[in-house]
Amino acid sequence: MDFSLPAEHRMIRDTVREFCDEEIVPIAQEIEDEHRCPTEVFSALADLDMMGVPISEEYGGLGGDQLMYALTTEEIGRASGSVGLSYAAHISLASKPIEMFGTDAQKERWLRPLAEGEYLGSWALTEPGSGSDASNMDTTAVKDGDEWVINGTKQFITNASEAGSVLVKAVTDPDAGYDGISTFIVDPRNDDGFEVTTIWDKMGLNASPTCEIQFNDVRVSEDRLLGEVGEGWKQTMKTLNGGRISIAALSVGIAQGSYEAAHKYSKEREQFGQPISKFDAIRDKIVSMDRKIERARLLTHKSAWQYDQGMDVTKSSALAKLDASEVAREVSEDAVQVLGGYGYTTDFAPQRMYRDAKLMEIGEGTSEIQHLVIGRELGL
């Protein structure tokens, strides 16, 4: 799609690609094996002004658009799904809502350090018993004088163990349904009662921390309420529209990395006196991989462009996320197959990408939920 990308977007994409090839690819398997969040990588991305790509320059961001952010996320995902996931959660879920719904004072205090990459951010919605019904939450925030007191448990929260701020969804009016949910900014380093109780071992993406966190009488001042009381669910829906685009981009990146590994191997590996790329079975598989990636990328770029035009992206973001996440799984699985026995070893990237890809069909709304969202948009 180079023909349709502005020069600035191509420059940013190429800069990030070079960085990823030099700084992330060589350690991608190592950090996965060590279950280590590579904070040094995020510090280096901050030095490149990449930790706040779609955030206003006024608050420390790069001032780019959603398409530029999608390109950046894809390139990082091509190198490491883990780094890409933590990056996407940091921007789409932890930073963007503060820019969209916060006061000037909140943006200066909480958004600037996120956009400048001082630390990672986190977003706490899901609970142990909620799953796809994310609005069914038990975490509460009760007003006590000029403070809010938060109690509850959140599950599968990306970056929580590394975060300098966490956006927490809590019930402020149990009788108001969707209108009884609000958003609070919690400081995990300084707010008493905040505890990371579990960092999960996972099928993949182990260099991106996924946590269970508990709030035990966590007290936050009134100025930690994001937006107005009862606006939390509306904020969540707007946040997830952008978040789905980032997961679509991340999925495209994982698929692209898998494809490149398979393509390279197929031209180097010889059987029966010729490269395996010359055999119909392998050639057709690689052609199919490329076709799927191009389709998913176009859907992702279309939704990002619509987002930048101020259009409603409920359908397009769900469609991009649904298609790209399935493509990531299919292409990475095919890449393992192309590499044969070597594809099953940790000496080659496709096995890691295959495991990473599966979460793309689960996180930020399962594929089943995307079908539901698209069906509603189609009037079904």
d(CA 190, CA 363): 28
Give the residue-averaged pLDDT of 347-363.
Answer: 97
Task: Read off the CATH number of the domain in which 134 is found.
Answer: 2.40.110.10
Q: What is the pLDDT of residues 81-132, one digit of tens each?
A: 999 999 999 999 999 999 999 999 999 999 999 999 999 999 999 999 876 6
> DSSP string spanning 157-169?
EETTTTEEEEEEE
Residue 77: is its pLDDT beyond 80? yes
| pLDDT confidence of residue 130 | 79
Looking at the structure, do residues 372 and 247 belong to the same domain, yes or no? yes
Tell me whether residue 44 is exposed, middle or buried, using C-beta atoms within 10 angstroms of its C-beta: 0 to 12, 13 to 18, 19 or more.
middle
DSSP strand pairing (147-158 vs 181-186): unpaired
Where does a domain end: 230, 263, 278? 230
The CATH number linked to 299 is 1.20.140.10
Q: Can you tell me the mean pLDDT for 324-339?
A: 98
Chain mean position to CA 319: 16
pTM: 0.95
**Catalytic pick among 8, 118, 364, 368:** 364
Here the tokens at position 241 are 């529209």
- Among residues 120, 145, 163, the one where a domain terminates is 120
Residue 95 and residue 17 share a domain: yes
User: Is-catalytic flag, 364?
Assistant: yes
**Quick one: which of 189, 328, 335, 168 has its CA closest to 263?**
335
158 and 224: one domain?
A: yes
